[in-house]
Amino acid sequence: MNRFLAVPLLFATFTLSAQELPHHLAPGEVPLIPEYKATRAEAARGITTPPPFTPRTMAEWEEVQTLVITWTSFPGIQKQIVRAAKEECEVLIICSCRTP
């Protein structure tokens, strides 16, 4: 008897999770596009002068001096990463500061 109840329940779960979201802009978003594009085109795009040295990409076997992580989700895994990494290098944890 339980099998006969499980099949419709399983089918209903898959049907509800397969709902499609719209792939277009809302009518109120369309007029905002030109202004958004104009502000992005005028925004500073990083460093404009090249450095006085030739930059290079770090090789995967090179040791790091500092590890930077954000403390947002998966705290159990992040605790393990910090616990192991602090023995090898400096660890900087970026988090939001909430004031009471």
More confident residue, 14 or 20: 20
What's the token pair of residue 46?
Answer: 């990083």
Q: For residues 40 and 33, what is the distance between their CA atoms, to the nearest angstrom?
A: 11
What's the token pair of residue 68?
Answer: 């930077």
Judged against a pLDDT cut of 90, whether residue 36 lies above it is answered with no
What's the token pair of residue 99?
Answer: 């004031």
What's the token pair of residue 31?
Answer: 């007029």
Q: For residues 16 and 27, what is the distance between their CA atoms, to the nearest angstrom?
A: 26
Give the model's pLDDT for residue 11.
60
Give the model's pLDDT for residue 52.
92
Q: For residues 3 and 14, what is the distance between their CA atoms, to the nearest angstrom?
A: 17
Q: For residues 93 and 78, what is the distance between their CA atoms, to the nearest angstrom?
A: 10
Q: Torsions phi, psi of 94, nearest 5? A: -95, 125
Q: What is the pLDDT of residues 37-90, one digit of tens each?
A: 888 776 666 677 888 999 888 888 888 888 988 887 788 888 999 999 999 999
Confidence band (pLDDT; 50, 70, 90) for 27?
Answer: confident
Confidence band (pLDDT; 50, 70, 90) for 14?
Answer: low
Give the model's pLDDT for residue 63.
86
